[in-house]
Amino acid sequence: MTAHVVLIDAMNLIRRIYAVQERPFLLNNELAENTKQQVLHNTQKACLQAVNNIIEYTQPTHALAVFDSKEPGWRYSLYPDYKKGRKKMPLHLEQSLPAIQDGFMASHIDSLISEQDEADDLIATLSIKVALRSQNVTIISTDKCFLSLLNQHIRVYDYFNRRELDNHYVQQKFDVKPGQLMDLWSLTGDSTNKIPGVAGIGQVTAAQLLNEYGSLHGILKADNLKSSIKDKLEQQKQELELARQLLQLKQDIPLGFNLKDIRLPNSQSA
């Protein structure tokens, strides 16, 4: 029997659910102390319902909720402004994570919490390992970085909009193939994570270049680039290389467990 592994980008799921639960209680963009417990209760309940819905819809043989490290990871060491300005997780939500993880476990979904890596890298590593065995993976996340992993064995599902983010979605939104996305974002940067790219090269231009030359390597080796593009790439080599390094998902993290450790009850697969 072919395995089907569901990997939940836990903080992507939890923080989006929390934002929805928090919104009705906000006053001047603040949450009163006497409403925090109610919001946390609602969040925990909604998170548990979400994972049950996910399992019912995807019908996996294995499942895992993957959490970020509590400490800043290697990208912050490489680039201190990484994710600069992003709203921090509220302390009361952070303190409630063990209770949410217990709720997941009650539905037979274990949690993987990294000591030093982002969930993105852990999910990428596990997805590739599973796919290389010709087994199937569904990543539950709205984070666009996972779209670069799409192949015949790896899919991405947006739980909040109830849609699969597939090759057609990538082509329509970015005008490139999934395998070209990292090169696209290396050129344009990623404003969501405050990653700089090559100033003056936007998504339309980057997509046109990739469709013509195939890859970032092909672009840099081309001898018929417009002088304006060539000058930008030459003058901003460091920014381009930094973006490439920050965007690249690690795929070789030692995981320390086997698929059988996250197998769901009644599943007969390995």
Annotated binding-site positions for K(+): 187, 196, 198, 201
Under DSSP, the state recorded for 214 is S
Of residues 67, 63, 64, 65, the one with CA closest to residue 113:
67
DSSP lists the bridge partners of residue 67 as 113
Q: Determine the Cα–Cα distance for residues 227 and 75; give it in Å rounded to an integer.
A: 32
Task: Work out the number of other CB atoms within 10 angstroms of the CB of residue 204.
Answer: 10
H helix count then E strand count, the chain? 11, 8
List residues forming the annotated binding site.
120, 187, 196, 198, 201
Give the E-state strand segments of the chain in sequence order: 4-9, 26-27, 30-31, 62-67, 110-113, 136-140, 154-158, 163-164
The H or E element containing residue 22 is: helix 10-22
SS3 state of residue 81: coil
Tokens 């274990």 identify what position? Answer: 110
Burial class of 132 by CB neighbour count within 10 A (0 to 12, 13 to 18, 19+)? exposed
SS3 state of residue 137: strand
List residues forming the annotated binding site for Mg(2+).
120
According to DSSP, the β-strands at 154-158 and 163-164 are antiparallel
Angle between helices 10-22 and 119-132 (to 10 degrees): 130
Mark 45-55 as b/e (b = at least 16 C-beta within 10 Å).
Answer: ebbbebbeebb
